[in-house]
Structure 1
Amino acid sequence: MTAEALGSGAPSVERRERAQGMALRAWARARGILSVIRPLAWVLIVAAIVLWITGQTLGWWELTVTAVVIATVVALCAFFLIGRTAYDVTLDLNRTRVVVGERAVGALTLANTSSRAILPSRVVLPVGSGRGVFTVRRLPAGETAEELFAIPTQRRGVLKVGPVSVVRGDPLGAFERVHRRDQPVDLFVHPRTVLFDGQSLGFLRDLEGLPATDLSRDDVSFHALREYQPGDDLRHVHWKSTARIGEMMVRQYEETRRSHFVIALSRSAADYRNADEFELAISAAGSIGLRALRDSQRVEVRVQGRELPAATGKQFLDSLSAVEHSRPRQGGIVELSGVVAATLPTASVVVLVAGSAVEAATLRIACARLPFGARALAIVAEAGATPSLRRIGDADVITIGALDQLPAALRKVLA
């Protein structure tokens, strides 16, 4: 191929690329125009065309007049699209974290920062699978409008609030122009939890423990000296300080606890009889995890398929808000126990949480799979059941029918 042939082919390539770019821009513009036409408008347009053709063919002027009327209505509806929607939109939630049953209150502020008034329009605020619709009056230049709203939270989960959409359209709903003006905000609906006093199940004194803020008369972590009190063990008297001060002084210790506290929460649907049991199990796991975090424990949480972040109480509850049922192939409580044993072999305390569909034999196998030497506790959520305590192998098994039964049941384990 000669140089002249190569040179003549280059302009054709450029023209083809330019034509493709123009076609893509034209298609994008056409798609934007077509997006404002709602199904009702298409029905009216097709009806007007059919009636017009039929009337002209058969000579029925009634059909022709009807077609003209329909076309006129469609044209009048299209005029409602005229106008700007250049709002500055601000979405503000008073709280982005609430507990199931609480209301999340927020405010939607729309400001007209342009030099001309904005005609009335509708504002749509998606909330999860639902949405709220607000009607905004005519907004003069430089003014703002504020809409307050409350989001009821009947179920645990993570709700996306937004993005806010400004809608302009006609009363019939034939045409609708939508402009999205804001970024969505995550609303975390935390599970219910119960607070209880006393030490968590990780309260085991040992040499590998971490010091806590609770003081003790007898442990392995020295804290300070104090005056002798009746009942103190004389073995802890600090004789040098006693001789120097002239009063009997004894050593005071910090209690130590094991640092590896694991919660294994089953999210297999086969382990629960209904949705209430699943929510009760999540609430129980959340309550125990929060207690362990307050007791300076190192808390790790496992569910089928992943680890839940639990460095802080807020992070832990956020992760529980998003827990859903797992896929059947990920197994139940037995498979989850195997994962704990394989990934956390140094766990000191393991709490298994499941529903009443788990049989005693299955629970025994799950407990037997846990890391060697770990203290095992199983919590069975059975909605409406009477609280009970039993032993399965080396594990304590607590059955609760309501969340408020958990503190008393744990006290029996620690007794």
Structure 2
Amino acid sequence: MTDRRPVDTRSRRPVATRSRRGAAQERTGTVAGLTNVRTRLVGDRDDVAADAVVGVVRLWRTAWRLARRSWDEVSSVVTGLGWTVLALTVVAFVTGYRFGLREVVVVGWAGAVLVVIAAIALLGRSRLVIRMSLPQARVVVGGEAGVTVTAENPTRLPSVPTTVELPVGTGLVDVVVPAVAPNGSHEQHVPVPTTRRGVLDVGPLTGVRADPVGLVRREVVWTAREQVVVHPRTIAIPSTSTGLVRDLEGQATTDLSPADIAFHAIREYVPGDHPRTIHWKSTAKTGAFMVRQFEDTRRSHLVVGLGVSRSEFDDDEEFELAVSVAASLGARAVRDGREVTVVVSERTPEFAKRPVRAVQTLPTVTPTRLLDAFASVGLADACLPVAEVAGIVGRDTVGISVAFLVVGSTVGVAALRLAASRFPVGVEVVAVVCEPEAVPRSVRVAGLTVMTIGYLEDLRHALHRSVSA
């Protein structure tokens, strides 16, 4: 029997062709979905030419990164004089050899020698480890303050002399560090000027490496920036010397209160009185309910206001005296544990459309915090006068008992009386007029005491005279 099976007449070559086309489409679709650099350069090609193109581009990118990094390093150390000398050297060589000018060629070679010396000066690195420390970050005006620069050599070879730069305020101090022995150290004290009150930025300590001519300059920052706070000069005022402020419990007033400390009298009971105020012995004697009555007491709340308007002071010396007076009064009140508010006028920006009617309240948590704030207080051309400052403080501060207004000699009595009238009734207002080298005196005006002092020490005597009066 003949086995007749169906014969598959399809050719195998089309099958192979179709499988290769499908693999190509699959590969093309995969590459088309990528967005890397190779796809943008050669697409889906994977032959030798495509690999060569990719290799050339990668080599170019690497060379460009190295060239850019080298250029950044060179430009960061070459000074303006260095670029000028380099340009003149190139121009001298080209011009001298082109036109046969020997003198110009000599200038070119001189510039080349300077460039080589500058390059040699940058070779190597410092073996030193340099630190900076502030033994005292806060100091009074005229006190001693300084920075200790310590250089250590942890290597086995001696170091070479070097120079480091130390910015102090607006100045710059060059500190010369001599050669340090192996595993040795060297300390040097750099004084900080404290002739004026303020906050001085000290540092960062920068190591400088440069050639003798100044063509190149490399800086290494060793430390961070620190601050030296120069406090205003203050005077010790005894806690009982003010005479205007009573004990911490408060001073008795003529206002009567049903519950307080200062006993006043006994009266008959009226509906609404608290049962705890009943005086039982008097009740037993009279046969009617009698209650205790007290005088209302108020806790002492001091206000120290300092004017900072330039028009209210004759010169900077007068303003410094006023800052010392305000700082002395505020610091003494904080040390005594009293409730105190210290304010200065807020500055108006230069391009503001209208004046800023506000005051700046200085921190009174500790005397140190208060003196730190006073170190940054300065004169301003556009700010509120003392009368406006008194009005804002009198309106926003509750329970004021005594207010000290520290002003300059250009403020008249009329302006001081206007400022005193801005406080609530019953507030004792004392105006301290600061006039350097003036004869101290005290004048009592209606609702106002005007004290004129010429030196800071006169403040203590003026307050003592106030007690006697």
- Residues 1:58 and 2:90 aligned together: no
- Residues 1:177 and 2:203 aligned together: no
Cα deviation, residue 391, structure 1: 3.0
- Residues 1:34 and 2:87 aligned together: no
Match of 2:234 among 186, 190, 193: 193
Cα deviation, residue 115, structure 1: 5.6
3-state SS of the aligned residue for 1:35?
helix
- Mapped contact 2:248–2:338 kept (Cα < 8 A): no
Paired with 2:163 and 2:249, the residues of 1 have a C-alpha distance of: 66
5 Å-filtered alignment, 1:4-83, equals 7-9=33-35, 11=37, 30-83=71-124
Q: What TM-score do you get using the length of structure 1 for normalisation?
A: 0.79
Paired with 1:169 and 1:129, the residues of 2 have a C-alpha distance of: 23
Match of 2:428 among 351, 355, 375: 375
3-state SS of the aligned residue for 1:403?
coil
5 Å-filtered alignment, 1:227-266, equals 258-266=299-307
Partner of 2:340: 299
Deviations 1:2-59, CA, capped at 9 Å, x for gaps:
98797244558999xx999998997676344312222322232232233223323432
Judged with a 3 Å threshold, the aligned counterparts in structure 2 of structure 1 residues 348 and 89 are, in CA distance, closer, same or farther, namely: farther
Cα deviation, residue 276, structure 1: 0.5
Match of 1:396 among 439, 442, 449: 449
Paired with 2:40 and 2:381, the residues of 1 have a C-alpha distance of: 52
Structure with higher strand content: 1
Partner of 1:123: 164
Cα deviation, residue 309, structure 1: 1.4
Partner of 1:347: 400
3-state SS of the aligned residue for 2:33?
helix
3-state SS of the aligned residue for 2:233?
coil
Paired with 2:251 and 2:212, the residues of 1 have a C-alpha distance of: 70
Q: What TM-score do you get using the length of structure 2 for normalisation?
A: 0.71
Cα deviation, residue 355, structure 1: 0.8
Match of 2:463 among 387, 410, 413: 410
- Mapped contact 1:169–1:177 kept (Cα < 8 A): yes
Cα deviation, residue 285, structure 1: 0.8
- Say what the alpha-carbon RMSD is for the aligned residues: 3.3
Paired with 1:156 and 1:358, the residues of 2 have a C-alpha distance of: 24
Partner of 2:285: none
Cα deviation, residue 337, structure 1: 1.5
Q: Would you say how many aligned residue pairs link Structure 1 and Structure 2?
A: 370
Partner of 2:369: 315
- Mapped contact 2:241–2:464 kept (Cα < 8 A): no
- Residues 1:275 and 2:316 aligned together: yes
Give the partner amino acid of 1:321: A
Give the partner amino acid of 2:389: L
Paired with 1:14 and 1:357, the residues of 2 have a C-alpha distance of: 78
Paired with 1:28 and 1:372, the residues of 2 have a C-alpha distance of: 74
Give the partner amino acid of 1:103: E
Structure 2, gaps ≥5 residues long: 1-27, 42-57, 253-259, 264-296, 347-359
Paired with 1:13 and 1:345, the residues of 2 have a C-alpha distance of: 76
Q: Which moved more, 1:264-273 or 1:365-374?
A: 365-374
Paired with 1:14 and 1:321, the residues of 2 have a C-alpha distance of: 63
Judged with a 3 Å threshold, the aligned counterparts in structure 2 of structure 1 residues 361 and 73 are, in CA distance, closer, same or farther, namely: same
Judged with a 3 Å threshold, the aligned counterparts in structure 2 of structure 1 residues 335 and 58 are, in CA distance, closer, same or farther, namely: farther
Cα deviation, residue 269, structure 1: 1.2
Partner of 2:416: 363
Partner of 1:204: 246
Structure 1, gaps ≥5 residues long: 211-218, 223-255
3-state SS of the aligned residue for 1:299?
strand
3-state SS of the aligned residue for 2:163?
strand
Partner of 2:281: none
Paired with 1:14 and 1:21, the residues of 2 have a C-alpha distance of: 19
Partner of 1:288: 329
Cα deviation, residue 78, structure 1: 2.4
Cα deviation, residue 127, structure 1: 0.9
Deviations 1:119-176, CA, capped at 9 Å, x for gaps:
3321111111112212223334422121122223111111112111111112222221
Cα deviation, residue 342, structure 1: 3.2
Deviations 1:64-94, CA, capped at 9 Å, x for gaps:
1111111211220221122223543332222
3-state SS of the aligned residue for 1:103?
coil
Judged with a 3 Å threshold, the aligned counterparts in structure 2 of structure 1 residues 207 and 190 are, in CA distance, closer, same or farther, namely: closer
- Mapped contact 1:277–1:382 kept (Cα < 8 A): yes
- Mapped contact 2:132–2:150 kept (Cα < 8 A): yes
Deviations 1:176-215, CA, capped at 9 Å, x for gaps:
11111112221111111122333335523586569xxxxx
Give the partner amino acid of 2:172: R
Cα deviation, residue 273, structure 1: 0.9
Q: Which moved more, 1:52-61 or 1:173-182?
A: 52-61
Paired with 1:402 and 1:37, the residues of 2 have a C-alpha distance of: 55
Give the partner amino acid of 1:381: C
Identity %: 33
- Mapped contact 1:257–1:297 kept (Cα < 8 A): no
